[in-house]
Amino acid sequence: MRSKPKIRRLAAVDQSAAPRLELVPGEEIWVFAYGSLMWNPGFPHLEVRRGRLYGFHRRFCIYSHVYRGTPERPGLVLGLARGGSCEGLAFRVPAGEADEVLEYLYARELVTEVYIPRWVRIATPDGEVRAASFVVDRAHEQYTGELELEATAELIRRGVGISGPGIEYLRNTVHHMEALGLATGDLKRILQLIDGRPARPKGG
């Protein structure tokens, strides 16, 4: 059983119009993490499993106006974009903490409502689980659409927000994915571009 950290408190944000996930009273939930939640969940959990989500992939596709950038000088953060698949971590949350954990996640992820909370099916080594996750709203003004790797690297390089530089976010994500044995894909190539190292061919 994993440690059960207390839920970190975040500043209150008016999200009265933001969508909410329906909970079954008395049932535990799973949360699927594909970005900073993997290495900084901030909520209590009983178990962690590697898992894969089909139909979405991890991509820097959101202009960050708060955590890793500002409206005047946006950075980039990760989102779940349609197509492909995404390997990450699934956290099992005890039933008694489910409501509070979701409220914490809403406060953390829905600051500008660029994410849409939804239930997704995650394939894990011990069977499929239904998990809460956050996918990008493609109609939102902060959705980037398709960006070239060079443009992505430049936005990450210059972005700084209340949680620090975008490059720190990228490095942490790559480091923890490598430690977990997860394929980093374009994230490692973007980091190489920022560090001035030649990126390997996509198949490498």
Separation CA 118–CA 106 (nearest Å)? 11
The catalytic position among 109, 128, 148, 150 is 109
* Among candidate residues 55, 28, 39, the one with its CA nearest the CA of residue 132: 28
Give 29's strand partners. 93
User: Is the CB of residue 183 less than 8 Å from the CB of residue 103?
Assistant: no
Active site residue 109: yes
Specify which residues 127 forms β-bridges with.
Answer: 124
**Tokens standing for 182?**
């997860």
Catalytic residue annotation: 109
